[in-house]
Amino acid sequence: MDQGRPDQQKTIIVFAFTVFFIIPAIAIVIMYAHIAIKLESSEIDKSLKEDNKSKKRRIKNNRTVLKMLLSVVITFFICWLPFHIQRLLSVYIMWSENEAISPAVQFLSMIVFYISGFCYYSNSAANPILYNLLSQKYRSAFCRTILGENLGNWIFKGSQKAGQAKRCSSSTDGEQKTLMTRASVRIDSRNQNPQKPPRHLEISNY
C-alpha cells in the first residue's frame, strides 16, 4: 500500500476487512452450522434403527466433529480479528490526522500490532494441532505419514489393543455386577415370597 495515498490506503483496508474477514466469517458460521444441523438430524433418524453400542459410537463421533468445527471457527476469529482491528485502528489514526490522538489509542495500536503478527502466523499451525487433539483418525493418519506405515501401524495397534483390553475388562466387570445384582434380586424375592407347603386334601369317611 502506498503511504503517500492515505485515502486509497483507507479504502483498501476497509475492503480487505470486509472481503477477507467479515464475509469468510459469516460463510464459515453458516456452513458449519448447516453441518451441525445435518449431523443432529441424522442422529435422530438413525437412533431408531441402531442398537445401543453403535448409537453410542456414532454419538461420540458426531460430538468429535462438532468440537472440531467449533474449535476451527473460534480459532479463525481469534487469529485474524486482532490483525484487522490493528488495521482499522491505523485507519482511525489516519482519519484523525488533524486531531490529537490519545496515548491510550497509540499504545493499544502498538500492542495489537505485535499480537496480530503472532496470531495470524500461528493460524497456519493451529488447525493441524486441533485436528490432532480432537480426532484419533487424524492422529493415526498423521503418525503413519510422518513415521511410516510400519511404525505408525505398530504404535496404533498397541494403543488399540490397550483400549480394547480396557473396554473388555470394564464390560466384564459390568457383566459380573449385573449377574450379582440379578442373583441378589432372586434371593430377596425368594425370601419375601417363601414357598407355601402343598395342601393335602383330606377325605373323611362318614
Ordered by start, the domain boundaries in the chain are 63-158
Where residue 97 falls among pLDDT bands split at 50, 70, 90?
low
Where residue 140 falls among pLDDT bands split at 50, 70, 90?
confident
Q: Please tell me the number of Cα atoms within 13 Å of 63 on its side-chain side.
A: 6
Contact 51, 18 (CB under 8 A): no
Answer whether residue 98 shows pLDDT above 70: no
Q: How far apart are CA 77 and CA 25, in angstroms?
A: 8
Least confident span in 64-68, 94-98, 109-113, 125-129:
94-98
Terminal Cα-to-Cα distance of the chain (whole angstroms): 128
How far, in Å, are 16, 97, 131, 138 from residue 141 at the CA level? Answer: 36, 54, 11, 5
Of 168, 171, 144, 170, the closest CA to residue 156 belongs to 144
Q: What percent of the chain has pLDDT over 90?
A: 6
Residue-averaged pLDDT of the chain: 75
The pLDDT of residue 170 is 47
The pLDDT of residue 195 is 52
E strand or H helix at 151: helix 149-192
